[in-house]
Structure 1
Amino acid sequence: MARPKVLPANRLRANTACTACRSSKKRCSGSFPCTNCINKGRSRTCTPFKSLDTNLRNRPVPASRPQVSDRPPWSETEPEAQSSLRSQTHEVITPRRESDTLEPGSRSPEATHRTHSRMLRNLQGERVYVGKAASLSFLQLLRDTVTQHIGPSQFSHNVRSEDMLETEAHHDLLNFSEERCSVEEKRQFIRNYEAATTGFLYVGCGDGILSTLMDSAEPKTDKEKTRAAIVDLMVAIGAQTCLNEPETVQVERFYFARGQRRTFANFLEDPSMDLIRVFLLLSFYMLGACRRNAAFMYLGVASRAAVALGFHVDPSGSVSRNERYERSRLWMSLCVLDLMVSSILGRPSAISPLLPESRQTISRVGTDSTATGLEASYHLSFILDEIVNRLYGEKAASTETADLLLGKLNRWSEHLPHSLRTTSSEHEDESAIRQHTIGNMHVACSYHFAVILVTRPFLISALSVRLARLHQSLSSGVFSEPLEEDPAHSRLAAACIDSAVYMLQTCLEVLQSGLLFRNMCILKAFVFAAALVLGFSMFSHRDVDSEIDGAFRGALTILRMLAPQSAQAAHYLEITSMLESAITQQRQQLAAHARQRRSQYVNRIFSLNDNPTTPRTQSESADQPETTTPRLAQGAPYSWLQSDDGTGAVTPLLDGTLLDWEGMDLPLWDSFPFLTELSII
């Protein structure tokens, strides 16, 4: 049967073709070395047809933003220093001074970005933007890579790959009254809220919370309604972290709906500090409810209200000391949450353009662990913003820029206070211990996530070479020079893997301690990002690294615990589990090829796992490509693979096995349109 005709509208081309494919007018995979060059044994000479502008390579590194003298002592920068490995935060990078030359053997100071911006569908079918720094963009690259090496699989051809998974909003009426939730139960929910948000938010209203809890009268003024909405949302977030029981779900939905209704009662006519608080809480709740687009928009409202109140400028002596304290705390919370959510989604931040001026307006917000964690996250958010703008704002990631950013991260971690590195006192109650532990975990994971963002482009570069080298070693009858990794890229790739391992080990320790909540709205995104990094590493190596494998299984354990409370965590678990299956298949194929090389004189005669409809012997398989066809469907007598863009069936399956149509060469299927998601250049 002939290959299905591809409509012109569905013919997606690689951004950059290699010189050989362009001259021969062959479809290029866009990776370097590309699939065609690997199969023909000319991987060594596979180069992009159009190299990057030399002006980009020679562009000087922009000067870092000025440091201000009123930062806390532990966050001030010092001259370049070597970072030692810490037991609590696991610093893993030793920065290279910008004045140093490239490492011996380095061929390029840059790694071309191979992740691209994407347009995914929301619940209403509208296209929404996800930037190239997002984990979802990295996921698509990983899917394409897996397809090139083992052929189509459930991981690479997920039917929901174009959807930005979100949950429906609940608008049905609840048979619930406030009297069913006692004041003490509300207090417990608020304690849960404080623990779940520590390190990210610090927006409490002080004594006003207790008085609002005790007051059952309906608020009348706009100020009273906004203050009551704050308390309602705190209770809702606290209930969101608990076990998903019917009574708790009703508490969560009732107080969120009432808080949201009270927020919009005055139609946002007058900006206020309470209005900023309530929209920060609305955003945090939406993250936990798997509605990231709504959370992103609520952060925009909070940002505009903060600008209207002049939070982005120095108020000088126009405000009292207590008000300055409150403004600083709110501004830090807004910066941390806005920049964190923007980096996870790869979208421009509303706060980012205001950061240089805002650095001069911040004063200390306290000495307790909650305030210390918020300040640490606040100063880390500056570096995170710089990572997204400087590293992902260019066509390629520069090793010099990466070293500069990693140096800033190391100096930040060098000056972390002791309280953020250690566990809490044994004399504290369980609620205080949980809040301290989760806050430290949030700060540590934010650091590891920042390191992953810096080094991930170089991980992609280094592992692509390793995969090509694996493919080259399995090819028979074709001689080519061995592929070599860029030493600078390999060094940064190792840092990316180490940071992902440390993050997952830290999270797993907290899970095993019993202190982790059932719904951790930002942590699940961190865990997923780290799992993809480790999965890519495992897929690219012939040998098994027990530490990496153990951390990857830890990610599955964490997501499995979060999945019952979060549809997003359940989707992440599904993707990660399918990635694990693809890794297993890759390892089985590599092991099978190794056996064939060791012994050419013995065949396996019989196996219950062999499909009688497609019998294959060792001699037959030796003439086939290096990959085998995966089993994608089990139990269904006849099924079809759907293309990612929903255009229809492309390949039939019988008893879970792809039909071998005229010896189709699976590694060359990268030219099919369903292997590449719609990208934004």
Structure 2
Amino acid sequence: MGTHVDGLKFAGGSFSLFQEKPLRELIDLAHDYGVYVSTGGWAEHLLTHPDANSVFDKYLKKCKDLGFDVIELSSGFLSFPEDDWLRLVDKVHTYKLKAKPELGIQFGAGGDTPASDLEAIGTSDPGKLVNMGRKFLDAGVERLMIESEGITENVQSWRTDVVSTIMKELPSERVMFEAADPKVFNWYIREFGIDVNLFVDHSQIVQLSCLRQGIWGTADTWGLVQLLAHGFDAGELATARRKEAECNFSDKPARLLKANAPKETMLLSEHMVPTPQRQTAMDRLLNALEDHSADLEQQTTDDKDGTAPVPKVARLLRDGQGKFMYIGDSASLSFLQSVRRIVSLSIGRCEFTEDTSRHSMLEAFQSSSATQTGPLSAPPSNDEAQRLARQYVLATSPLLDLFDLEEFYPRLANWVENPTGDEDTVSSIFYLVLAIGVQVSEINQDLAEQYFISGRQLAFSAFTETPSLYTIQSYVLISMYMLGACRRNGAFMNLGIALRAAYAVGIHRKDANALFCARERRARERVWKSLRMMDLFLSASLGRPPATSDFDSDIGDQATIAGEQQRSQPEAQLSLCVVALCRIFDRILTEVYMRQVVSINVAETISNQHRAWVRNLPTFLSVQTERLSSKTLESMLAAAHVFGAYYWSIILLTRPFFIFRVSQYVRSKTDPAISSNDPIASASRIALFSDACVYSALRCLNIVDDLSRFEALPRRLPFLINSVFNSAVVLGAAFFAEYDNLLPLEEGMDKSEKFLGLFVPHDPHACRFYQIIKYLRGAVAEYVRRRNRQWMERRSKQVDQLFGQVGLTREASASNDNVTISRSGEQSAPTPLSPEKLATGSLSAQGPEQTASTGQSENDIWNTLCEPQGAAALPYDNTISTLTTTGIPIGCSPGGTLTTAQPGMGTDAGGQTPLSDVLFSENGLLYMAEDLSVFGLWGET
């Protein structure tokens, strides 16, 4: 039971129908399997009693005596002041029980009122729900229950905007949604992933569990066979099928909520340390891969030539259906895991390192009905079709450049008038363009899905035909739509079809394209460039080998491109910029990540291409980096796409050096044996590459920050969202090497959070990235707080050694008289979950204390209520994942110190560590002007 069920809830006051003995036995059975037990909305009934205060106290006392863990507080038919609800929460907590408030937007919820009647009553503002939820969380509530009536139950149309607001404004791991309908919980999982907390009916245990695990099946036999195949006990399934109660679900094993003894009150927190005996096979596999990777990194030896092998360990993550998917070294999620290890080594466990979704990748999937063929959707009016086509261009240009727009728009108008006049592959293209246009411009995605299904249906029908340019365009568009719909693995797979069709047609060869007329040649080259860009983007972001290669490129092509750019029209110049960027990405993936070695020589060679790219940048594109109020959204967004990809390419190239440098600095602070003043570092360029990574992240965020002033910004921009997320993770990690003392990292993090926040209501990926950045900022804040405290304590001791301290004993004073001021050998601050912190009680208690029942045990709960008087930290290897940097023989560290004060080094006005404490090797970021042109970022010297 505990494998699939986190909690068991008695609907309403249904527990009062039980005799006390069988009720206790049922509660004890739940506790034996690590399942907490909750009351239903019975408190609402008791609060209407004439002597509500006395009755409610007796109710809580009896619930405590019976072994209940959680008391639900619902308010569907009551209108209480906020302070009264908060006082009720405090009262529940005084009995060492957990309060679980139920929040909603519909007055009269919980009575199964018809939708028409509820609509007549009206709903409240979702902002009121969010504000109340925050107050409950601040009051110590660990889990909020969201009432479905008014949102997905008894409504004419679902209020998905309310759910998006809740997921954006409240911590998702502390919110649970009522979803007692298969269509509803299927939608929640599709939109927010398998980790979303759901409350469902007891009869839907198998259906939901199979849906979370990706094996799907509605019949009991099918579910039983699959569960047994995964190693679960049939007795557990039989227990979970009890009909007396309703169950609260998530995919988290109930072992995370297991109390120390059967009758102790359960915690709702998901941060308890799992015991090895109850770890599932899935968790063991994922954790084993992670630990093995760290062991290999630790064992890797330095190479004298500045290159080192990368641990050949695949990282497997679960997708939205519970299937394992491969994520490689260059992937954003792999980078994120490296940063998690750095944070864990620096401050210990926190929300960022213990993120419940860290072993899964957010992946939506279609319902079975959406994949069925049917009649094609009717095209929109010509004006609407043209508007949607412009939205498609706005969201994808110039990285995706499949069409000559001067020809495309008139042909689209003709197709709208006569949809059957073109062949199926052409119609497929128009449907898919419309689908992407609706996807990036509308809140409701139903129409986008209809157009997509029609376009994909027509594209599939071309399987029996000879591949053509139209076939390639169709599958590139399918891949683009799926990328925006949070279905990256599907996008990756469908792009493979386009790639094979491209090789069959021969658009990858210049000599083959030269055989066609100028118009046809340009079309073929345009499609190949777009295909290359999509392939490299998906390969880099997912860490998988690219499937395309620039077959005809050579060293002389750089000069050819430069000459062509000077003679071409602006549109052609922009296209050549993207082609050059593709070559840079290709070299980074093939020469760094695919070969699984990194060297300074390779990095410097690729940086030469970056400088050449900046030299050949068209003037009209350079102007877009300036803050001008007269710039249009179209020009700014096109420039942001280009520069976002450019800065991301630098981050990809320099990220290994950056991770190595930060991890070395963190190690030097936690292990005195590691010197932070490595003499070899001064003779290397590792520091410069590391600093370029941080600078690129800051400049990428500067580029996108100006876009937020446009109200017509598309609602989904996967290319930019990827660049912003990677930049934000870089800045967050940079705090742990003291980069914030010289660079505006906090300002950059604000920009990333602001930009991602624009897309949270519409894009599940942006919502997930936004949550990760929130967690990362929390870890950064904790690190900065400890660092500042340690610095203040150190300075205080030094001052006391100079002038003495009032209140010290003579022995203590005498012992300190001859102590030399030193900064070495300091102990790191205790981690949030260390025994020292737990002993001092600075953290919340690990569980409610068990109190003995003082009341007389009654045989009937109903009579009792209605009588005349009233009714430990996870183990962690001291190794840091450096992805492609393990074994670099340069022991540089950004945290060099000085033994004496230096001229001109004063105390930072912002209360941070003085520069004398954070002076970097080679003056760290304070490079001479001639050193700053490595990537063309600051112009040529």
Q: TM-score, normalised by structure 1?
A: 0.70
Q: 2:647 aligns with which of 436, 448, 457?
A: 448
SS in 2 for 1:397: coil
Q: Is 2:303 the partner of 1:303?
A: no
1:225–1:30: structure 2 CA closer, same or farther, 3 Å change rule? closer
- Which residue matches 1:520? 717
Render the CA deviation track for 1:452-480: whole Å, top value 9, x for unaligned: 011110001111122233336xxxxx787
Q: What is the deviation of 1:553?
A: 1.1
Q: Is 2:589 the partner of 1:399?
A: no
Q: What is the deviation of 1:272?
A: 0.5
Q: 1:203 aligns with which of 391, 399, 402?
A: 402
Q: What is the deviation of 1:269?
A: 2.7
- Which residue matches 1:257? 453
Distance 1:376 1:119 in 2: 35
Distance 1:188 1:417 in 2: 29
- Which residue matches 1:374? 575
Q: Residue type of the partner of 1:288?
A: G
Render the CA deviation track for 1:529-555: whole Å, top value 9, x for unaligned: 111111000133285456221111111
Q: 2:617 aligns with which of 413, 416, 440?
A: 416
SS in 2 for 1:120: strand
SS in 1 for 2:492: helix
Render the CA deviation track for 1:405-452: whole Å, top value 9, x for unaligned: 11111111111111221249999999xx33222111111111101110
Q: Is 2:633 the partner of 1:383?
A: no
Render the CA deviation track for 1:97-119: whole Å, top value 9, x for unaligned: xxxxxxxxxxxx34775896411
Tell me, yes or no, if the aligned pair for 1:311 and 1:331 is still in contact at 8 Å.
Answer: yes
SS in 2 for 1:416: coil
Q: 2:754 aligns with which of 543, 557, 568?
A: 557
Render the CA deviation track for 1:194-246: whole Å, top value 9, x for unaligned: 1211121121265455344444577558x6111111111111111111141x3
- Which residue matches 2:347? 150
Distance 2:523 2:379 in 1: 33
- Which residue matches 2:438? 239
Tell me, yes or no, if the aligned pair for 2:394 and 2:714 is still in contact at 8 Å.
Answer: no
Aligned length: 543
1:334-353 map, 5 Å:
334-352=531-549
Distance 1:275 1:176 in 2: 21
Q: Is 2:663 the partner of 1:464?
A: yes
Distance 1:446 1:427 in 2: 22
Q: 2:696 aligns with which of 475, 480, 499?
A: 499
Distance 1:310 1:525 in 2: 31
1:48-447 map, 5 Å:
51-52=301-302, 57=305, 109-110=306-307, 117-170=314-367, 172=369, 181-204=380-403, 206-207=406-407, 209-215=409-415, 224-244=423-443, 246=444, 249-313=445-509, 314-315=511-512, 318-352=515-549, 354=551, 356=553, 367-423=568-624, 433-447=632-646
1:413–1:515: structure 2 CA closer, same or farther, 3 Å change rule? farther
Q: Residue type of the partner of 2:488?
A: R
1:270–1:209: structure 2 CA closer, same or farther, 3 Å change rule? farther
Q: What is the deviation of 1:625?
A: 5.7
Distance 2:790 2:626 in 1: 55
Which is further off, 273-282 or 258-267? 258-267
Unaligned runs of 5+ residues in structure 2 are: 1-259, 261-272, 798-804, 808-824, 835-840, 848-871, 887-941
1:268–1:415: structure 2 CA closer, same or farther, 3 Å change rule? farther
SS in 2 for 1:670: coil
> 1 or 2 for the larger relative contact order (CA 8 Å, sep ≥6)?
1
Q: What is the deviation of 1:163?
A: 1.1
Distance 2:396 2:758 in 1: 19
Q: 1:628 aligns with which of 831, 840, 843?
A: 831
Tell me, yes or no, if the aligned pair for 1:629 and 1:658 is still in contact at 8 Å.
Answer: no
Which is further off, 407-416 or 391-400? 391-400
Tell me, yes or no, if the aligned pair for 2:473 and 2:527 is still in contact at 8 Å.
Answer: yes
Tell me, yes or no, if the aligned pair for 2:379 and 2:419 is still in contact at 8 Å.
Answer: no
- Which residue matches 1:486? 681
1:555–1:13: structure 2 CA closer, same or farther, 3 Å change rule? closer
1:582–1:602: structure 2 CA closer, same or farther, 3 Å change rule? farther
Render the CA deviation track for 1:324-370: whole Å, top value 9, x for unaligned: 1111111111111211221111111111374649998x997994544
Distance 1:181 1:509 in 2: 33
Q: Is 2:853 the partner of 1:670?
A: no
Q: What is the deviation of 1:172?
A: 4.6
- Which residue matches 1:509? 706
Distance 1:447 1:676 in 2: 25
Render the CA deviation track for 1:530-585: whole Å, top value 9, x for unaligned: 11111000133285456221111111111111111110110000011000000001
Distance 1:602 1:236 in 2: 74
Q: Residue type of the partner of 1:570?
A: C
Q: Residue type of the partner of 2:681?
A: D
Q: What is the deviation of 1:120?
A: 1.2
Distance 1:114 1:548 in 2: 31
**Superposition RMSD in Å:** 4.2
Tell me, yes or no, if the aligned pair for 1:176 and 1:250 is still in contact at 8 Å.
Answer: no
SS in 1 for 2:512: coil
1:269–1:140: structure 2 CA closer, same or farther, 3 Å change rule? same
SS in 2 for 1:421: helix
Q: What is the deviation of 1:294?
A: 1.0
SS in 1 for 2:325: strand
Distance 1:393 1:315 in 2: 29
1:130–1:482: structure 2 CA closer, same or farther, 3 Å change rule? closer
Bigger Cα Rg? 2
In percent, how many aligned pairs have the same letter?
A: 27
Q: Residue type of the partner of 1:51?
A: T
1:369–1:583: structure 2 CA closer, same or farther, 3 Å change rule? same
Q: What is the deviation of 1:498?
A: 0.3
Unaligned runs of 5+ residues in structure 1 are: 17-27, 32-47, 58-108, 473-477, 604-621, 632-652
Q: Residue type of the partner of 2:448?
A: E
Q: Is 2:775 the partner of 1:578?
A: yes
Distance 2:528 2:620 in 1: 23
Which is further off, 118-127 or 519-528? 118-127
Q: 1:567 aligns with which of 764, 772, 775?
A: 764
Tell me, yes or no, if the aligned pair for 1:279 and 1:302 is still in contact at 8 Å.
Answer: yes
Tell me, yes or no, if the aligned pair for 1:276 and 1:306 is still in contact at 8 Å.
Answer: yes
Distance 1:111 1:182 in 2: 59
- Which residue matches 2:126? none
